Amino acid sequence: MNGEEIVLMLGNEAIARGALEAGVRVAAGYPGTPSSEIIEVLAEWAKEHGIYVEWSTNEKVAVEVALAASFCNLRSLAAMKHVGVNVASDTLFTATYTGVRGGFVIISADDPSCHSSQNEQDNRLYGPHMYIPILEPHSPQEAKDITMYSFELSEKFKIPVMVRTTTRLSHSRGNVRLGPIPNIAKEGTFERSPEEMSCLPSNARKMRVKLIEKIKSIEEYFNDSPFNCINGDSKVGIIASGLAYAYTMEALRALKAEEKVSVLKLSTLYPLPKKLLASFLEGKEKVLVVEELEPFIESYVKAICCELGIDSRVEGKNLIPLAGELTPLIVLEGIASFLGEKLVSKSGFKLEVEVPPRPPVLCAGCPHRSTFYAIKSAVRKMKVDAIYPSDIGCYGLGFYQPLEAIDISLCMGASIGIACGLSKFSGKIVIATIGDSTFMHAGIPALINATFNPSNFILVILDNGLVAMTGHQPSPVTGVNAMGEKVKVVLPEDLVKACSISFCKIVDPYYLEATISTIMEAIEHVQKGLGPAVVISRRKCALTLLREARDGKIKIAKNRVDEEKCVGCLACIKLIGCPALLPFNGKVIIDESICTGCGLCGHVCPFKAVMRVET
């Protein structure tokens, strides 16, 4: 892939390609939908192009590694999902103070509508808060171009630059024209300059003054940015950015209103270019701001109108919803009502049959299902009143029927801190669950707290050997890193012991009886007030098991239904909800292509109708 070829590229790939064409040397990130492909793709290219790529333990570390590379005069990139920026924010808030040397670009991939997230925060708001310049592309081609431009910008003004993308751009494909990849085998160099890189109060005060100046100059610069453009010259205007711009263009076409409205496409979102905005607003009767989530541009536009005495009527969130992702239909309706046009609804199509929901489910053979089932069984057997804080990962699906094994779930690592508090104030037995990667990401300080401030709860660490939820990236327990190098593993049990926790047992959730009795022991330990009890439930992700079996590396068993014994009561499906169990001709069959032989269906079958077959 070189030269002037046009290819179909994912938005995230285009960002990675832009970084590569801009001569990026170092990239770091932590997995998170919708950002993960950026680092994955760069990792694939790492060897060939001599770049260094890592999955860090969390986003804060990723930003620090990339920032350090920039301090060593190398171009670097950090990529994460929107909530990852929260984790990295402590570093970023001061990285704008220190500034950078090599161009440093951070990608924030926001997730309006929470497709794969716990919230839908709008990271454009970090712009004025951190004083970090932000740009947002509207197509995969522009994602590549803006990434390249951001490296230039970062070096020109010696400041970290954020590129904001959203799920719909990160995960959509479009035509991308490839450019040349520079051949730079550059080594890092470091020149000391402690006053510029140490944010002690005496330095930080001066840095802030400088930062304010930088932002003013960037605002001037953005007035002429090639990524902002005005189409048309009418008294009615629309301002839009990112995908909202794409939907706006489609809506104007559908309404045949392209000539009636002039459109300002904005890509430089912070600092917003005041002169450009003022020149667009001047003389307009009315203007609609079409933007996803917060009224970020709208508030600023209203402020400018006020300040400069421009009397255009500015509309925005009165017509475009605040919550949720925009769609072409929502934008079409908003623009139609702004223009006073009536829409004739085309789809008067009502279904008569009920369409049952199909939420995501834990995979067939998922070890998390067995662990949750064991936890619930132990609690039932001991007749205790238990509550279940959990965390962020595939196991979040344990919330749904039939498992219903989660009471509280907030953000990465929160299960353990919440468990510390609940164990003291709820009067109930507290059983927290957390995945291996999430434990390493943000769980450890809270577990130290459980010893430091003695807390009685059970923690079950769900160790499936990698980061499953976001697409099977390696975690510190995996033994390989992003670039495929073999590395030492960090074992959760060693960390637990280092937190001075005496109860730490390891189980394999496929051995259900042993897992149940170990959890019962843990409950007893906590009932006696002997401090936190940790159970590590270790079993590779079911998808890994299937892959390894397909590649001939391991043998796995399968479960099969004995037709003679099965009475079609569907208890198996109703009790464990495994997607390999399918109702068929009044009985149940098991889809052996996805069964991993976990045996849970056999355990719950009242008629002992499930057999185990070795393959």
Ligand X SMILES: Cc1ncc(C[n+]2csc(CCOP(=O)(O)OP(=O)(O)O)c2C)c(N)n1
Q: Give the footprint of ligand X on this chain (CB under 6 A).
A: 30-32, 59, 81, 83-84, 87, 392-395, 412, 435-438, 462, 464, 467-470, 475
CB 197 within 8 A of CB 137: no
Q: Does residue number 573 form part of the binding site for other proteins (CB under 8 A)?
A: yes
User: Per rule CB under 8 A, is residue 6 in the interface with other proteins?
Assistant: yes
Residue 363 beta carbon to other proteins: minimum distance, rounded to whole angstroms? 6
Q: Taking contact as CB under 8 A, which single stretch among the options 97-105, 169-177, 437-445, 557-565 is the one that binds other proteins?
A: 169-177
539 binds, among other proteins, ligand X, none (CB under 5 to 8 A by kind): none
d(CA 415, CA 524): 21
Q: Which is nearer to other proteins, 31 or 133 (CB)?
A: 31
Residues in 7-26 that interact with other proteins by CB under 8 A: 7-8, 10
Please, what is the minimum distance in Å from the beta carbon of residue 469 to ligand X?
3
CB of 434 to ligand X, least distance (A): 6
Which of 174/479 has CB closer to ligand X? 479
Tell me the C-alpha distance between 346 and 380, whole Å: 54
Pairing mode of beta strands 262-265, 236-240 = parallel
Minimum distance between the CB of residue 467 and ligand X, rounded to whole angstroms? 4
Which residues, 6 or more positions from 553, have their beta carbon under 8 angstroms from its beta carbon?
none
Q: Does 585 interact with other proteins (rule: CB under 8 A)?
A: no
532 binds, among other proteins, ligand X, none (CB under 5 to 8 A by kind): none
- Here the contacts of 589-594 (C-beta below 8 Å, separation 24 or greater) are 589/561, 590/558, 590/559, 590/560, 590/561, 591/364, 592/558, 592/560, 594/363, 594/364, 594/365, 594/546
CB of 333 to other proteins, least distance (A): 10
Q: From residue 460, how far is each of 453, 538, 605 by CA, in Å? A: 19, 10, 26
Beta carbons within 8 Å of 354's beta carbon, 6+ residues apart = none
Q: Which is nearer to ligand X, 261 or 392 (CB)?
A: 392
**Would you count residue 352 as binding other proteins (CB under 8 A)?**
yes
* Identity of the residue numbered 514: A
CB closer to other proteins, 13 vs 155: 13
Q: Pick from other proteins, ligand X, none: which does 323 bind, CB < 5 to 8 A by kind?
A: none
Is residue 421 near other proteins by the rule CB under 8 A?
no
Using CA of residue 195, residue 58, residue 267, residue 22, what is the dihedral sign? positive
Are 151 and 26 spatial neighbours (Cβ–Cβ below 8 Å)?
no
Which H helix or E strand runs over 582? strand 581-584
The residue written with tokens 């999430």 in the block is 438
- Complex with other proteins: residue 26 or 246, whichever CB lies closer: 246
Cβ closer to ligand X: 325 or 391? 391
Q: Does 355 help bind other proteins (rule: CB under 8 A)? A: yes
Footprint on residues 299-328 left by other proteins (CB under 8 A): 327-328
Cβ-based nearer residue to ligand X, 56 or 518: 56
| Burial of 481: CB neighbours in 10 Å, binned 0-12, 13-18, 19+ | middle
Q: Which residue among 25, 33, 289, 601 contacts other proteins (CB under 8 A)?
A: 33
Q: Of residues 456-475, which lie at the interface with other proteins (CB under 8 A)?
A: 469-471
CB atoms within 10 A of CB 354: 5
Residue with smaller CB distance to ligand X, 462 or 507: 462
- Which one of the spans 226-234, 349-357, 459-467, 512-520 is the region binding other proteins (CB under 8 A)? 349-357
Strands (E), 271-369: 286-290, 313-315
| Residue from 68, 113, 125, 171 binding other proteins (CB under 8 A) | 171
Alpha-carbon distance of 9 to 287, in angstroms, equals 34
**Residue 520: C-alpha distances to residues 383, 456, 525, 533 (Å):** 11, 14, 9, 11
Of 161, 386, 394, 467, which one interacts with other proteins (CB under 8 A)?
394
Burial of 490 (0-12, 13-18, 19+ CB in 10 A): middle
Q: Which does 84 bind (CB under 5 to 8 A by kind): ligand X, other proteins, none?
A: ligand X
Q: Residue 30's binding partner, choosing from other proteins, ligand X, none, with beta-carbon cut-off 5 to 8 A by kind?
A: ligand X
Name which of 498 and 582 has its Cβ closer to other proteins.
582
Rounded Cα distance, 523 and 489, in Å: 29
User: Which is nearer to ligand X, 160 or 435 (by Cβ)?
Assistant: 435
CB of 256 to other proteins, least distance (A): 15
- Binding status of residue 402 toward other proteins by CB under 8 A: yes
Q: How many CA atoms lie within 13 A of 251 on its CB side?
A: 27
At its nearest, how many Å lie between other proteins and the CB of residue 350? Answer: 9
Alpha helix locations (H) across 366-506? 367-382, 414-425, 436-438, 444-452, 492-498
Residue number, nearest CB to ligand X: 435
According to the binding rule CB under 8 A, does residue 1 interact with other proteins?
no
Report the DSSP pairing between strands 236-240 and 286-290. parallel
User: Which sign does the torsion angle of CA 398, 401, 407, 412 carry?
Assistant: positive
Nearer to other proteins (CB atom), residue 175 or residue 193? 175
Q: Please pick, from the candidates 184, 212, 229, 254, the single residue that binds other proteins as defined by CB under 8 A.
A: 254
Query: What does the longest C-alpha to C-alpha distance in the chain come to?
Result: 83
Among 582, 608, 612, 613, binds other proteins (CB under 8 A): 582
Question: Which residue has tokens 């769980």?
Answer: 443
Are the C-beta atoms of 288 and 338 separated by less than 8 Å? yes
C-alpha span between 228 and 297 (Å, rounded): 14
Interacting residues toward other proteins by CB under 8 A: 6-8, 10, 33-34, 36-37, 115-116, 138-139, 168-169, 171-175, 243, 245-247, 249-250, 254, 327-329, 332, 345-347, 349, 351-363, 394, 397, 400-402, 469-471, 570, 573-574, 577-579, 581-583, 593-594
